[in-house]
Amino acid sequence: MSGTPSARVPLAASANVSASNIGNALGAWLGGFAISVGLGYTAPLYVGAGIVLIGLVVMLVAARRSGRSESDTTDRRPMA
């Protein structure tokens, strides 16, 4: 793999799309599983909320470990 950033863009884009596809399939499977075990037709709503909470926790842990906050990454120069 080349060391230039432009050579890594397609790999990062394909990894992003793959993660989205896996999340979509996993969410549908977990929602269907919740219905099939008898939790009712509203159970996928709670399954989805749980998945969102897990994703939020993962994002917050990753942000804390990176040592950068959103304010560190924004450009504070006035627009000309």
pLDDT value, residue 72: 57
Cα–Cα dist 18/10, whole Å? 12
Query: No. of H helices and E strands in the chain?
Result: 3, 0
Q: What is the pLDDT along the chain (80 residues), one digit of tens a residue?
A: 555 667 778 888 999 999 999 999 999 999 999 999 999 999 999 999 999 999 999 999 999 998 865 555 555 566 65
Cα–Cα dist 49/51, whole Å? 5
pLDDT value, residue 31: 96
pLDDT value, residue 4: 67
CA torsion 47→49→28→26, rounded to 10°?
-90
Residue with tokens 């969102």: 52
